[in-house]
Structure 1
Amino acid sequence: MAKRIDVADLNAYYGPTRAIEGISMTIEPRTVTAFIGPSGCGKSTFLRTLNRMHEVIPGARVEGKVTLDDVDLYGAGVDPVAVRRSIGMVFQRPNPFPTMSIYENVAAGLRLAGVKKKSELDDVVESSLKGANLWKEVENRLKKPGSGLSGGQQQRLCIARAIAVSPDVLLMDEPCSALDPISTTAIEDLISQLKSEYTIVIVTHNMQQAARVSDRTAFFNISGTGTPGRLIEIDDTSRIFANPTEKATEDYITGRFG
C-alpha cells in the first residue's frame, strides 16, 4: 500500500472546454497532500483524473500522463475499474449505499472482487471499521442501515468502505464540508492516522484544515473567467503558509481573494 503518484503535463476537458492545463506534480507515499484554491479552478476535476473518475462524465477526456509507481494509469489495456479499486475516493457528501446495512456497505467492494467466505468478510469489515475509528460505535448494530448513522459517522463509514479493498491511495474531495465541527475533527484525526498506510490527497476550501492535516499543499488558480485551472505552486505546507513563492498564493491564503 501507499504508492507514489507522478503527473506530467496533464490537461482535462469537458467536451471542447479545457478545465485544467499543464499540471505536473509528484505526490509522495504516506503523506497527505492538500489541494487549495478558489472555486472553479479545477481542484476536484484534477482529483478525479487521478483515479479515472473524470472520464465517467460524457464527453470528458484527459491528455497527459499519470503514473502510480511507474504504472501508466491511462496506458493501453489498463482497466479503469482496477484503477479505481487501487485509488479509492471519498466524496464531499457522505454516500453510504442507502439500502445496505453498515456491514454490507463495507463488504460491498469485497463481494464485487469475488470474496465470498464469511469469515474473511467478517475480518475485513471489522478491521476496516476499526481503521475508520467507527467500530466501537457500530459493532452492535452492523445489520442496521448505514443511512441511519449521523453525518460524521456516515463519512467514516464511506472511508471504511474505501479502505476495505486495500487501496494504495485515498482521494478525498472536501470530506468535511458537510460536517459539524466535532465530526470534522474526527475526520481530520483519522486522516492523520491513515497516512501511515496510505497516500492521501484532499481537496479543501478550509485553509486551517489544510495547515492542520497536510504535509504538502498545492495551490491552484485561474487567470480569468473561462480560463483553465493551473497549478501555481506546490511545496511543504509549512512553507506554503509561511513563505509562498508566488504572490497569488499569498493573496489567497491571506484572504485577499477567493
Structure 2
Amino acid sequence: MATSIDVSDVSIYYGDFKAVEGVSMSIKPRSVTAFIGPSGCGKSTFLRTLNRMHEVIPGARVEGQITLAGRDMYAPGVDPVAVRRQVGMVFQRPNPFPTMSIYDNVLAGNRLNAKRLSRSDADAIVERSLRGANLWNEVKDRLNKPGMGLSGGQQQRLCIARAIAVEPQVLLMDEPCSALDPISTAAIEDLIHELKSDYTIVIVTHNMQQAARVSDETGFFNLKATGQPGHLVEFNPTKKVFTNPDNEATEAYISGRFG
C-alpha cells in the first residue's frame, strides 16, 4: 500500500549548523521522485529525514513537519523504528550482511522485527521479495550461499529485496546505482519502474539522465553559497524540469553550466 509524504517547511540541523533550510513538497504515492543537485547541497540529508535515519547522528534534529499518509512521523510518541518499517532505505553501496546467506539477508528485517516465522512463511517471503527485486531466477539454486558472493548489481538487488521483505509503503534510494556498471544500472532502473506500481519511491541521483529516465517528479536542490544551507530550488514534473524549468539555476545545472 503505497502512500504520500507531505513535507512542510522542513529545516535540518547538525548541532548549530543548519544543513537544509525550508523545504516543502508533496511526494505522490506510486510514483518515483528524484532529487538532483550538486554535491553537498543536502539531498541525501533530506532523504534521510523521510525515515528518521539522520537521527542516528548525535545532535541532528529537524524543524517543520513531515507526514506519512497524513500522520506526523515526528510527533511525540512516534517510534522511529516503526517509521523505518514503513519507509525502507537502500544505500549507495550494496551492503548485504557479510556473515549471512542470501536467504537470511532477505529475512533480516523481518527477524529484527521479532516476528517468529514458520519455515513456509519464511520461504514465501524470500521468494516474493527476490521475485520483486528481479533476482529470484538468478539465485534460487544458491539461497544458502553468502550474499557477498553475488556481483555488485546482484548485491544491490538483494538489498532491495531485503527492504521490500518487510512490506514498507515507501522506498528511499540514496544513489543506488553510483557503484554499479551500466548493465547493472539498467537492471536497477527497470526494477524501479516495476516497483512504483506498489511503492512510493524517492531516489537521490547525481546522474541527471537517470533522473530523467526513471522519475515522475524531480526536486532540484542547491546551495546559495558555500557554508550556507541547502534548499529546494524547484520541484516539478520531471519533463518540465528538464525541458522548461521555472528557475534559471535549474536550467544552468541541467545544461552543465555549473555543478
Normalised to the residue count of structure 1, the TM-score between the two structures is 0.99
Amino acid at match of 2:145: K
Q: Which runs of 5+ in 2 are unaligned?
A: none
Please name the residue that 2:256 is paired with: 255
Is 1:33 matched with 2:33? yes
Question: Residue 219 of structure 1 contacts residue 231 of structure 1 at CA under 8 Å; is this kept in 2?
Answer: yes
Q: What is the rounded CA distance, in whole Å, between the counterparts of 1:252 and 1:115 in structure 2?
A: 50
**Aligned residue number for residue 2 of structure 1:** 2
Following the alignment from structure 2 to structure 1, what is the Cα–Cα distance between the partners of residues 154 and 76?
Answer: 39
| Post-superposition offset of 1:116 | 2.0
- Distance in 2 separating the partners of 1:112 and 1:60: 25
Contact persistence 1:110–1:121 (CA under 8 A): no
Moved over 2 A (4+): none
Distance, in Å, in 1 between the alignment partners of 2:155 and 2:252 is 35
In structure 2, the residue matched to 1:18 is 18
* 3-state DSSP of counterpart to 1:210: helix
Q: Which residue of 1 aligns with 2:229?
A: 228
Q: What residue in structure 2 maps to residue 129 of structure 1? A: 130
- Quote the Cα distance in structure 1 between the aligned partners of 2:36 and 2:57: 23
Q: Secondary structure at the match of 1:202?
A: strand
- The letter for the 1-side match of 2:137 is K
By how many angstroms is 1:115 displaced? 3.2
Alignment correspondent of 2:67: 67
The answer (yes or no) to whether the contact 1:115–1:121 under 8 Å persists in 2 is no
**1:155-177 residue CA offsets vs partner (Å, 9 max, x unmatched):** 00000000000000000000000
Q: Secondary structure at the match of 2:77?
A: coil
Alignment partner, residue 46 of structure 1: 46
Matched-pair identity in %: 73
The equivalent of 1:161 in structure 2 is: 162
Cα pair 1:3 1:198 within 8 Å, conserved: yes
Residue 56 (structure 2) aligns with: 56
CA distance in 1, matches of 2:156, 2:58: 27
The number of aligned residues is 258
**1:151 is matched with which residue?**
152
Q: What residue is the counterpart of 1:245 in the other structure?
A: 246
What one-letter code is carried by the residue in structure 2 that aligns with 1:233? E
Shift of 1:27: 0.1
TM-score of the superposed pair, with normalisation by structure 2:
0.99
CA distance in 2, matches of 1:236, 1:89: 23
Provide the C-alpha distance between the structure 2 equivalents of 1:67 and 1:183, rounded to a whole number of angstroms.
Answer: 34
Cα deviation digits, residues 10-58 of structure 1 (max 9, x gap): 0111111000000000000000000000000000000000000011101
Give me the whole-angstrom Cα distance separating, in 2, the residues matched to 1:169 and 1:50: 9
Q: For the residues of structure 2 that align with 1:248 and 1:157, how far apart are their CA atoms?
A: 37
What amino acid sits opposite 2:76 in the alignment?
A
Contact 1:232 1:249 in 2 (8 A): yes
Q: Secondary structure at the match of 1:19?
A: strand
Distance 2:116 2:249 in 1: 49
Distance in 2 between residues matched to 1:43 and 1:123, nearest whole Å: 36
Which consecutive residues of structure 1, in runs of 5 or more, have no partner in the other structure? none
The 3-state SS of whatever aligns with 2:105 is helix
Taking the TM superposition and a 5 Å limit, the aligned residue runs for 1:73-222 are 73-113=73-113, 114-222=115-223
Computed over aligned residues only, the root mean square deviation of the Cα atoms, in angstroms, reads 0.5
